[in-house]
């Protein structure tokens, strides 16, 4: 059975500081992937002279991406799966040694 994540709600700039770090990381990764596709799909590259609604939407996406990146830079590091496993093992070992005393 494949578990699919629920789609993310649209993100407003003023909501960014209120969100949990893991939620911010999910928004950040989704933004990073979707922005690259957005540029390719709509032909927004250097030399594109028209300013359209599509480009304005892209600029908004870019602003959210930069705000996410800045907010994540101020947050504490979130351990990946391997790091989390090591932390749990060290805590269990320390707890076991405390109980022996």
11-45 pLDDT per residue, tens: 888 888 998 998 888 888 888 877 666 665 655 55
Residue 93 to residue 81: CA distance in whole angstroms: 18
Is pTM, for the whole model, over 0.85? no
Residues 6+ apart with CB under 8 A from 5: 26
- pLDDT tens profile 42-83: 555 555 555 566 677 777 888 888 999 999 999 998 899 999
User: In this structure, how many other beta carbons lie within 10 angstroms of the beta carbon of residue 13?
Assistant: 13
């Amino acid at each position: 059975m494949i578990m699919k994540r629920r789609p993310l709600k649209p993100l407003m700039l003023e909501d960014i500081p209120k969100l949990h770090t893991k939620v911010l990381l999910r928004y950040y990764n989704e933004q990073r992937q979707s922005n690259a596709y957005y540029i390719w799909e709509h032909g927004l590259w250097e030399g594109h002279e028209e300013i359209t609604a599509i480009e304005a939407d892209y600029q908004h996406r870019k602003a959210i991406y930069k705000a996410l990146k800045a907010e994540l830079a101020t947050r504490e590091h979130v351990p990946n799966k391997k790091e989390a496993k090591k932390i749990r093992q060290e805590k269990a070992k320390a707890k076991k040694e405390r109980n022996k005393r």
